[in-house]
Chain A
Amino acid sequence: MAVPLLVADDSRLSRRSVIKALPPELEFSVTEAANGREAIELLENTSFKLLLLDLTMPEVDGVGVLEYLSGKSDRPDVIVISADFQPEKQRIVMELGAKKFIRKPLDNEELAMTLFELGYL
């Protein structure tokens, strides 16, 4: 069965590269959000198993999305994929419940390894 996946990133190039980096052994049903507000609207109405989340986005940023999710019981696994990888930022997102922090530019193998660690592969 396809894994319901939300990819939230304001860059189309980045969303495209994330989707292309998904391991072919797994089937995903992919939905895209172009900013944090869109992501929250989608998360309110749809149950996603996995969220691949950028941090630096307009309207609501990735930290805002994690804050929104922090009070929810039924929340997706969140993998943050961001260019802003300062130690303090990583600490904040991990405290807010992200499962893993991956640096941009995205390394396909690191994404596959993370999905393996989280039990998807």
Chain B
Amino acid sequence: MSSTISLNEDQRDALQELMNISMGQAANSLAHLIETKIGISIPKISAVTPSELFSLINRSENAYYTRQSFLGDIQGEVMAVVSESGLTEVASLLEYEAPLSKSDVEETILELSNILAGACLAGLSNQLELATNLNMPTLFSPNKASFVELNWQHSLVMEVQFDIELSSFSMRVVFCLDRTSLIKLTDTIDELLG
């Protein structure tokens, strides 16, 4: 049996809308930086077990992975899946010169993660009046064994996708929260819903 936390329909709807607003702010930050239009998906909200989270993260081929922890009124981790495809074009929009060195590629990935995940988290925190602090992202390779050991035994996954027009680039951002933070988040949403 899957031991996940369920959200009621109003909570899910509210969280989806809060994420949508946060994503808009994130996409706008990046669009201004690279002067290119960013496509954003409708956010998907789901509660998953660690092994389901692994499958969700690992379903992309030819991708880079980053993770960033955040602390504060709610704590958790933001994971980003960054496509290899189109990364060179995006790096050139960020003014890296081709051919990209290994460190150029890493810097581009970490910068994109920081801008998009950071703006998403900031948007969500601001709207809910929660204080959060995001640490720097690091690259990682998903590994099933390590996912089973994660703190997020009751993960709430908020998954959003950004696509950059004129390139095959895409990026998914997944937020994971621990149980205490999830309760804090749903309580705050309930207050907002009045």
Contacts and interface: CB of A to CB of B under 8 A. Distances in A.
A57 to B, nearest CB: 8
B167 to A, nearest CB: 15
B24 A82 contact: yes
Contacts of A83: 20-25
Interface in A77-106: 82-89, 103-105
A86 B17 contact: no
Contacts of B28: 85-86
Name the interface size band of chain A. Answer: 10 to 19
Contacts of B25: 83
A49 interface: no
B57 to A, nearest CB: 24
B10 A56 contact: no
Contact of A56 (B38, B40, B193): B40
Interface in B21-77: 21-25, 27-28, 31, 37-38, 40, 42
Given A13-B13, A14-B17, A86 B27 contact: yes
B13 A11 contact: yes
A35 to B, nearest CB: 10
Interface string B76-115: 0000000000000000000000000000000000000000
B31 A86 contact: yes
B101 to A, nearest CB: 30
Interface string A1-43: 0000000001111100000000000000000000000000000
A56 to B, nearest CB: 6
B16 interface: yes
A105 B28 CA distance: 14
Contacts of B40: 56, 84
A104 to B, nearest CB: 5
